Amino acid sequence: MLTVTLIFALSHAGVAAMTLEQIIAPGTRPVVLGTGYGFSEGPAADAEGNIYFSDGKNDSIHFYRLGEPVRLFTDQSTDANGMMFNRHGELVVCEGAAHRIVAFNVKTKERRVMAEQIDGVHFNEPNDLAIDRTDGFYFSDPNYAHRGQPPVMKEDAYYVYADGRVKRVSTVCVKPNGVLLSPDEKRLYLADSRGQAIYRYDVSGPGQLAGETLWIPSLGANPDGMTLDEHGNLYIACGKAGVKIYGPDGKPVGTIAVDYASNCVFGGKDFSTLYITSRDKFLGVATLVRGTRPLCAR
């Protein structure tokens, strides 16, 4: 049986802004909501708190409606990875080995391509993204060679404007992965999986980053997807190291130790359930906090 192990950490000053017990009640166990996937990833909450998540190995996206079994949304999304809803209710998807980012109309399943190249060269393998209120979005472009493809350019992070223009915004990472924008859109978080670090930027406008800061310099694990709660705590999926939680000051709060965590997002009726993609499984963990709501619900 899966259990959630709570691993506690104090800040350097001796007291964390919040304790892990204030976030997750001791004894809480994850619920296995789905299983049998090639590699689950990219959980995204819709306005109602239902969750879509990807299985890139099987070119598929799955849908979890609260209280119902997981069902297939589509099996026609090549190497689907990171996903997020925009303010119009479209599901925006990084289709890694297809070198593009697309948007799905979840009612009709029609898809449109949003970006696939810069300066005439296709992207490596779009991995994760963060959308803003102007319909622009940031995304990471590493190369994990999911389909054996070689890299075609340095692995960087980009911003795509609403009109389709593409701008390179960060070159610091060895292998950029998770990307997350704060609810007020004043901070951008970028995970360097190979560097085992989190960078933070000030955002002065769409695609305008400044103040590059090595915010969490040594995670001791390879960071992947990330999410935030209402208190500004940052949840970082770190593979076999579980979900590491850091306070708004960048100091560790603790760890939710599950078998594996590739990504996570808050959802559910009141957005207080943390959903975790975990290799062949899809998990839900009840918390005592509420997470950031998607753009389509604000």
Tokens 């802004």 label which residue?
A: 17
Distance CA(194)–CA(191), nearest Å, equals 9
When pLDDT is averaged across residues 213-241 and rounded to a whole number, the result is 97
pLDDT at 272: 98
3-state secondary structure of 115: strand
pLDDT band at 298 (very low <50, low <70, confident <90, very high): confident
Kindly report, residue by residue over 36-64, the tens digit of the pLDDT: 999 999 999 999 999 999 999 999 999 99
For the chain, the domains span: 5-297
Kindly report, residue by residue over 81-98, the tens digit of the pLDDT: 999 999 999 999 999 999
pLDDT at 262: 98
3-state secondary structure of 93: strand
pLDDT band at 204 (very low <50, low <70, confident <90, very high): very high
Distance CA(36)–CA(40), nearest Å, equals 9
In this predicted structure, the answer to whether residue 16 has a pLDDT above a threshold of 50 is no
pLDDT at 221: 97
When pLDDT is averaged across residues 15-22 and rounded to a whole number, the result is 80
DSSP single-letter state for residue 41: E
Burial of 250 (0-12, 13-18, 19+ CB in 10 A): middle
Mean pLDDT of the chain, nearest integer:
94
Residue 72, both tokens = 């297939």
Tokens 């102007």 label which residue?
A: 134
Which residues does 195 contact at the CB level (< 8 Å), separation at least 6? 173, 174, 175
Residue 50: what residue type?
N
Kindly report, residue by residue over 261-285, the tens digit of the pLDDT: 999 999 999 999 999 999 999 999 9
pLDDT at 257: 87
In this predicted structure, the answer to whether residue 169 has a pLDDT above a threshold of 50 is yes
Q: Residue 116: CA atoms inside 13 Å, Cβ hemisphere, count? A: 10
Residue 1, both tokens = 């049986």
Could you tell me the CATH superfamily of domain 5-297?
TolB, C-terminal domain (2.120.10.30)
Q: For the chain, give the percent of residues with pLDDT over 90.
A: 93
